């Protein structure tokens, strides 16, 4: 089994059932790697680079990602609670990190002021997530529970919210042109306008 180590390069490696809570990895590069059924709770991934990697059934809650890069990385059925994505390294010349979250838990995560156009979040639990001042233009946030998530001065142009629910989006303080919502959930958008609906 391949061991996770600092200052290493890993290409097309598979890491399975690793139990490394609070582990620290620094300055490692992962390309086309797969992580399955791993416990990385409160793990520190410092100055690492992940390209075309996939995480499946992993616990990454409270993961520390200072100065790490993520490009074309997907998370499927993962726990990512409390992750501060603003601490990662987001190069200004690459405005499409191509992140994909599917059936994952991102409760209490922060994407504050990040540029994440086209990000995909499908059937995720997004409770109390900070999307303020974030650029999510063209994103797919479908079938997600957005209870308590924060939107303010957020670019939501052409975002697909189909099937998502429990969001509170002030249409006067966010950019929602061409955004798509399920009809029954779109009623919540009227709250910010002070409109009362009657039968």
DSSP 71-109: ES-EEES-B-TT-BGGGS---TT------EEES-B-TT-
Domain ranges across the chain = 106-193
- The span from the CA of 94 to the CA of 36, in Å, is 28
**Residue of 6, 63, 65, 2 lying closest to 33 (CA atoms):** 2
pLDDT tens for the 199 residues of the chain, in order: 678 999 999 999 999 999 999 999 999 999 999 999 999 999 999 999 999 999 999 999 999 999 999 999 999 999 999 999 999 999 876 666 789 999 999 999 999 999 999 999 999 999 999 999 999 999 999 999 999 999 999 999 999 999 999 999 999 999 999 999 998 888 888 777 777 767 6
pTM: predicted TM-score of the whole model, two decimal places: 0.93
Question: HSE on the CB side for 39, CA within 13 Å?
Answer: 4
CATH, domain range 106-193: 2.160.20.80
């Amino acid at each position: 089994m391949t061991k996770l180590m600092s200052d290493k390069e890993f290409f097309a490696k598979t890491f399975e059932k690793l139990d490394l809570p609070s582990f620290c990895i620094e300055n490692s590069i992962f390309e086309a790697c797969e992580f399955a059924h791993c416990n990385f709770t409160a793990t520190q991934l410092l100055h690492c680079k992940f390209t075309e990697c996939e995480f499946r059934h992993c616990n990454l809650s409270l993961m520390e990602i200072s100065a790490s890069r993520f490009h074309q990385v997907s998370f499927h059925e993962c726990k990512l609670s409390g992750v501060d994505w603003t601490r990662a390294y987001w190069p200004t010349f690459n405005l499409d990190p191509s992140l994909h979250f599917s059936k994952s838990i991102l409760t209490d995560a922060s994407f504050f002021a990040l540029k994440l156009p086209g990000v995909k979040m499908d059937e995720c639990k997004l409770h109390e997530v900070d999307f303020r001042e974030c650029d999510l233009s063209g994103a797919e946030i479908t079938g997600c529970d957005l209870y308590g998530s924060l939107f303010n001065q957020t670019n939501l142009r052409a975002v697909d919210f189909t099937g998502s629910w429990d969001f509170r989006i002030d249409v006067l303080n966010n950019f929602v042109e061409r955004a798509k919502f399920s009809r029954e959930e779109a009623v919540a958008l009227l709250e910010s306008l002070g409109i009362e609906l009657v039968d």
